[in-house]
Chains A and B, each alone.
Chain A
Amino acid sequence: MNNRVLSWLTGVISNPVTTFHEISREKPVGWALAVYLAGVLLVLLALDTGFLFAVFWLFFAVVGIVILAGVFHLAALLLGGRGGYTGMVCALGFAGFLYFLIPPLYLLGVTGGIPVRLLVFAFTLLIMLWMLILYALGIKENYQLTAGKSVVVALTPLVLAGLSGVAAILLLLVVVAFVVILAV
């Protein structure tokens, strides 16, 4: 692991704007995926999910980053952004460096009392929020979008997931109504 990659890792935390600007220009996709998968693997090992579950989640993580980058890419292009899909994958991969913070927090949580656990829970939520902000910054640097549009793009998967949930519930209601009508 060379000095440049190490400085990007720290940069994701200390100076994300400049770091994502450099990453989107150089597109170190191999390192990005390695950092992301190492982070996910460490979390799975710390949580001791079991072998099969870990394999499933690793697969899900790989598929997830591909799809997430795709959704961001399409949304950014629709809002007038100019940038490549690979650059987006790289930004997401390096943002995954935040996963490295979860095992120490988990250790604190399992050894501490209830107040510590509550703090750990709050910190974990903060990390998730931080990751979302990193996504927005990565989108901004990769697609040369304004801050507002970048936030909109970053929130697109959440909005889509919410809409899918509502659609699924509506579909279920329609199916139930159909079955009831048939039964009557």
Chain B
Amino acid sequence: MGVKGLAALLIMLVSVAATGAVHLVFPEEEEVVPREGVMVANLQGAIEEGGGMFMAAAISPQRVREVLQQAEEDASVGAVVLRIDSPGGSVAASQQISSLIKDFEKPVVISMADMVVSGGYYISAPADGIVAHPGTITGSIGVISTFVDLEGFLENLGLETDVIKSGEHKDMFSRSLTEEERELMQELSDEAYNQFVEDVARGRDLEISRVEEFATGEMILGSKAERIGLVDRLGGEEEAVEMAGELAGIEDPAVKRYGEMGFWDMLISPGFQASSLLEHVVLPEEVILMDKAKRGGEPRLRYEVR
């Protein structure tokens, strides 16, 4: 082998050695495990079913499901804090959200903002912890169902309604209620109330009789709620994060915020408000009143304040 051959071999050997040396200098990088933390999500507005494009300002089961799903999929999230501000809302939506929180595997702590009443409290009860400000308005455990009797209104407008029905009470919300129908509605309301009381008792680990003492529909402040066991601690979001960290066994948890407002939410919310404004400018007052009256005529049991 001549000098040229040796030189070529030397170049190849140096190249192979350098490749090996690169791996010796930089061994395989260890997988970086992100610091465990607590996800904080803000939930504001009435509790309603749906959650489509125009529901950015409501607390819907869909929205809560999205929050919890993200927290479940993110290995760095050890617990969740839901910062709630809500006047309550529909019974079914409240119960759906309550189930989602109850069944969630990671600890969930509720941080109450200005007002968390009725359905707002209902969805808070099954959480692993509740933190409220001393001045937070909460409670209002009860059920309400209101509807508008349109009989007089339609009469004034000179409108008559023809009703063809099969079933004695099928038209009960198109006219004034009979005494029997009022009792039927009261039974429904009482049943929903009992469900409310039982679920709060179960969620807060209290006797049913104890819950019934303050389940009068009255609103109470956070300071009193803490004394009677409806709330675990007094404080704000920081205390809620601290509690969530304790429940998840995380020291000094990092705070990870759930998307404040997505692109669509930002795009749609002002549009929704604009459409509402447009409705008031374009439509005659009578038509708007009629629409509201019609919507008020839909009977719904609600965990909310009126």
Contact = CB atoms under 8 A, between A and B. Distances in A.
Contacts of B25: 107, 110-111
A135 to B, nearest CB: 20
A70 interface: no
Which of B5, B7, B16 neighbours the largest number of chain A CB atoms within 10 Å of its CB? B5
B15 A100 contact: yes
Nearest to A19: B4
A45 B19 contact: yes
B5 A42 contact: no
B1 A106 contact: no
Contact of B5 (A3, A100, A102): A3
B9 interface: yes
Contact of A103 (B1, B5, B18): B18
Nearest to B13: A100
A10 B19 contact: no
B8 A101 contact: no
A14 interface: yes
Nearest to B7: A10
Contact of B18 (A6, A14, A48, A107): A107
Nearest to B26: A110
B163 interface: no
A145 interface: no
A103 B22 contact: yes
B278 interface: no
Contacts of A100: 11-12, 15
B19 A6 contact: no
B21 interface: yes
A6 B8 contact: yes
Contacts of A106: 18, 22
B165 interface: no
**Secondary structure class of chain A's binding surface, majority of residues:** helix
Contact of B4 (A10, A46, A97): A10
Interface in A87-135: 97, 100-104, 106-107, 110-111
B4 A42 contact: no
Contacts of B22: 46, 48, 103, 106-107, 110
B23 interface: yes
Interface string A1-30: 001001101110010000000000000000
B21 A3 contact: no
Interface string B60-100: 00000000000000000000000000000000000000000
A100 B4 CA distance: 16
A104 B25 CA distance: 13
B147 to A, nearest CB: 47
Nearest to A38: B12
A19 to B, nearest CB: 10
Nearest to B12: A100
A120 to B, nearest CB: 12
B14 interface: yes
A6 B16 contact: no
A106 to B, nearest CB: 6
Given A3-B2, A46-B18, A103-B15, A10 B23 contact: no
Interface string A44-57: 01101000000000
Interface string B6-39: 0111011011101101110110000000000000
Given A48-B22, A107-B21, A11 B4 contact: yes
B19 A7 contact: no
Contacts of B26: 48, 110
A45 to B, nearest CB: 5
Given A46-B18, A103-B16, 7 more contacts: A3-B2, A7-B2, A7-B8, A11-B4, A14-B4, A102-B15, A103-B22
Interface of A: 3, 6-7, 9-11, 14, 42, 45-46, 48, 97, 100-104, 106-107, 110-111
6 contacts: A6-B1, A6-B4, A14-B4, A46-B19, A100-B11, A100-B12
